[in-house]
Amino acid sequence: MSNLQKEIDAYKEAFVGKVPVELRKIMLNATKELEDVNISKDALKVGEVMKSFTLPNALGENINLSDVLSNNDFVVVNFYRGVWCPYCNLELKALQSIVPQLSQLNTALIAVSPQTADASLSTKEKNELSFEVLSDEKNKIAKEFGLVFVLADALKPIYAKFGIDIQGLNQDDSFELPMPATFVLNKKAEVIFAFVDEDYTKRMEPKTILDIIAQNK
């Protein structure tokens, strides 16, 4: 099983060596501003019910949360920023590594981002994902669950310098993004575990997901 935190730490260490100090300071300050405002306080919480939604997958087919729940005991819903985010790709690959164990626990896994279906397909192919990757146009669903923020103006030229075209990938000029989040739902769509963090370099460990589900079987 993948140790996601170790992989993230290794990536961050390599990243620090490649990016100028001033750029790193701007990126860290942008994260701190989100943490200071505590925007995650409005996110969906344990004990609340995740409202059902229907979103297109990477092939343009509509996937409905209630339908997925009807065929599984649990559903893991992961919100990620996009194929351009290396931390998201590390997380998605780590989630893919536990798909066999999730299947044994009769648990489905779906990932959601504001990207277009084409970009979602790129994500799926790049990371060799077998689970559904859904497109949340203009973050409509992420907003309902209190996950959305606007990318800081100071980051826009930096992302452009890195070749990241958020507007193009999302077909949206708002620069709105979801905070990374993972929700574990029971059969009734109740949130039995929630991980939401303003810091996009922090993610829920896959083993924790398996432990939570096993404890609630």
What residues does each domain of the chain span?
4-215
The pLDDT of residue 175 is 98
pLDDT in tens, 11-65: 999 998 899 999 999 999 999 999 999 999 999 999 999 999 999 999 999 999 9
Region 4-215: CATH code:
3.40.30.10
Three-state DSSP string of the chain: CCCHHHHHHHHHHHHHHHCCHHHHHHHHHHHHHHHHHCHHHHCCCCCCECCCCEEECCCCCEEEHHHHHHCCCEEEEEECCCCCCHHHHHHHHHHHCCHHHHHHCCEEEEEEECCCHHHHHHHHHHCCCCCEEEECHHHHHHHHCCCEEECCHHHHHHHHHCCCCHHHHHCCCCCEEECCEEEEECCCCEEEEEEECCCCCCCCCHHHHHHHHHHCC
- pLDDT over 70 percentage in the chain: 99
Residue 2 has pLDDT above 80, yes or no: no
Residue 1 has pLDDT above 80, yes or no: no
Model confidence, pTM: 0.96
The pLDDT of residue 16 is 86
The pLDDT of residue 217 is 86
